[in-house]
Chains A and B, each alone.
Chain A
Amino acid sequence: MSDQHAIDAALAGDQAAWDALVNRFSGPLWSVVRAYDLSAADAADAVQGAWLRLVESLHTIRDPDRIGPWLFTTAKREAALLSRRNRGERLIADPADAEHARADPALAEHLHPDPAVAVLTADEGRRLWRAVEEMHEPCRSLFRLMATSPEAGVHQLAGRLGMPRGSYGPTRGRCLNRLRTMLTAQEATP
């Protein structure tokens, strides 16, 4: 079912059409909120927030192709808020943030154009991992560990890589930069 049909059907009250959207986007949304190092409970909250905002805004959607990127951007925003507020959180209500109020699909054109995970295909996944396999250590092991042990904390990952805990973040940042550069260079090659 195309996004347009799914939205039309969902607006008409078709639960199956909504379920199709959920099936299609649940995996990417979960992965992206977990990338903010959120606990499973917080990650679930962030994903639910994105779906709640979609149901709230369903009737305003003009361009169904933007649903994936929009859900993705909205979930990332929720995850970033949660991640920030986990440091020194007490009683928190998120939407007091003015930025929060503007998560409207009609405005999706103005959101960060970042549909990478929402549209990730199997081919691109293989390409991504081929790039990782070409990398030197510690990047290659770091990415393998990080991707296959989502529950492991920084301390555990650093230990398994044999590096001091304080080095993990900066090393991960450098490796991500290198991977990003490799992917961008591949794209520039016809």
Chain B
Amino acid sequence: MTRHPPTIDDESLIAALRLTAGHDPVPAHVSAAARAVFGLRLPGAATARPVPTPAPLGVRSADEARLLRFTAAELTVDLEVTAMDGLVDLAGQVSPCPEAGTRVEVRTLHLTESRELSPTGQFAVTGLPPGWFSVVCHRPEHSPVATSWTRIRP
């Protein structure tokens, strides 16, 4: 590996100075969280990646709600995200509408909420802590599909 490449940017240089000065140690909770992330892996799951969302129809909640769309090969997960009192509400739609028995899990670093999908493929979870989350769709006889980890801050 080479030494500092000539292209080293300001942030990397500052980081190197701070790292070697040793005055900004990693807080214990940050390392603990990084170790805990390993428990969130989903072997065999497909990752649904974010794609641009269509413009929202009408003006409902246009100021506060955020629409997100994730797609894997054959599945789309649409999410409407709203913040209320420092917590986050998610209303979701899985399409095409999966078969009966499909379950979604909304995962954060701290808790997981499980929901049965409605017959029309909808689900909702309220009062999530702000921060990182992912929605996992478990269908009978299919590998799980998980939305790429997404950060929400009210």
Contacts from A to B (Cβ < 8 Å): 10, 13, 15, 18-19, 22-23, 26-28, 30-32, 34-36, 40, 43-45, 47-49, 51-59, 76, 78-79, 89-96, 98, 100-101, 112-117, 119-120, 122, 124-126, 128-129, 132, 143, 146-150, 173, 176, 179-180, 183-184, 187
Contacts from B to A (Cβ < 8 Å): 1, 3-21, 23-27, 29-31, 33-35, 37-41, 43, 47, 49-53, 64-66, 68, 81-83, 109, 131-132, 134, 146, 148-154
Write the chain B residue with the least CB distance to A119: B1
> Which of B11, B13, B25 has its CB near the most chain A CB atoms (within 10 A)?
B11
Neighbouring B residues of A124 by C-beta, 8 Å: 3-4, 16, 20
In Å, the complex CA distance between A180 and B13 comes to: 8
| Cβ–Cβ contact A95 & B68, under 8 A | yes
Contact for B11 among A36, A93, A132, CB less than 8 A? A36
Least CB distance from B129 to A in Å reads 12
In the assembled complex, 6 residue pairs joining A and B whose CB atoms fall closer than 8 Å, in A order, are A15-B39, A54-B37, A56-B41, A120-B20, A129-B17, A180-B8
Contact for A95 among B10, B148, B153, CB less than 8 A? B148
| Cβ–Cβ contact A94 & B150, under 8 A | yes
Neighbouring B residues of A36 by C-beta, 8 Å: 11
| Cβ–Cβ contact A183 & B4, under 8 A | yes
| Cβ–Cβ contact A35 & B18, under 8 A | yes
Contact for B12 among A30, A35, A43, A53, CB less than 8 A? A35
Write the chain B residue with the least CB distance to A43: B30
Interface SS of A by simple majority: helix
Least CB distance from A93 to B in Å reads 5
In Å, the complex CA distance between A173 and B43 comes to: 45
Neighbouring A residues of B40 by C-beta, 8 Å: 52, 55
| Cβ–Cβ contact B68 & A150, under 8 A | no
Write the chain B residue with the least CB distance to A97: B50
| Cβ–Cβ contact A35 & B11, under 8 A | yes
Neighbouring B residues of A32 by C-beta, 8 Å: 11-12, 15
Query: Considering the complex of A and B, which 5 residue pairs feature the smallest CB-CB distances, nearest first?
Result: A125-B20, A147-B21, A150-B24, A32-B15, A35-B14
| Cβ–Cβ contact B21 & A120, under 8 A | no
| Cβ–Cβ contact A147 & B18, under 8 A | yes
In Å, the complex CA distance between A40 and B51 comes to: 30
| Cβ–Cβ contact B12 & A114, under 8 A | yes
| Cβ–Cβ contact B30 & A30, under 8 A | yes
| Cβ–Cβ contact B38 & A15, under 8 A | yes
| Cβ–Cβ contact A92 & B153, under 8 A | yes
Neighbouring B residues of A26 by C-beta, 8 Å: 26, 30-31, 34
In Å, the complex CA distance between A98 and B69 comes to: 12
In Å, the complex CA distance between A19 and B18 comes to: 23
Neighbouring A residues of B149 by C-beta, 8 Å: 49, 52-53, 56, 95
